[in-house]
Homo-oligomer: A and B are copies of this chain.
């Protein structure tokens, strides 16, 4: 996978994985494209219709997601292309679920309907929560960032 950015661009913060993730998918559309890909969308037209995104912007985002190894583009039936999630793209599932659960809790009025993510038996997912090595729930106050890890 190509982890570099286009020439001339620098990472927002070279050593912070959050900053890198935001550099790759932290715009208005990329994560929603990934969400729709997880929901079964594969063609340019499908993404366009589901998202209502401008066509030139969609072209650009799909290209960048392919460049960054999040989507894979291949010819489908001749006139169609199929964009599919790579392993790195599928691995964004956890982040999408975390944002979804946050949105459910904090971005809807109590009486406002919203879609929910359910497991194979149709039951709503339990709340995702970071844990320490010993299994205790972790928060920003009870964890900390160790600033750099030597290569190796």
Chain A residues within CB distance 8 Å of chain B: 1, 3, 12-13, 15-24, 26-28, 31-32, 35, 38-39, 51-52, 69, 85, 88, 90-109, 111-126, 128-134, 136, 138-140, 142-152
Contacts and interface: CB of A to CB of B under 8 A. Distances in A.
Contacts of A108: 3, 17, 20
Q: How many copies of the polypeptide does the oligomer hold? A: 2
B148 A93 contact: no
B12 A107 contact: no
A28 B69 CA distance: 20
Ranked 5 nearest A-B pairs via Cβ: A17-B103, A119-B132, A38-B140, A20-B107, A21-B103
A15 to B, nearest CB: 5
B1 A114 contact: no
Residue picked from A23, A117, A129, most chain B C-beta under 10 Å = A117
Given A31-B26, A32-B12, A149-B115, A98 B101 contact: no
B138 A132 contact: no
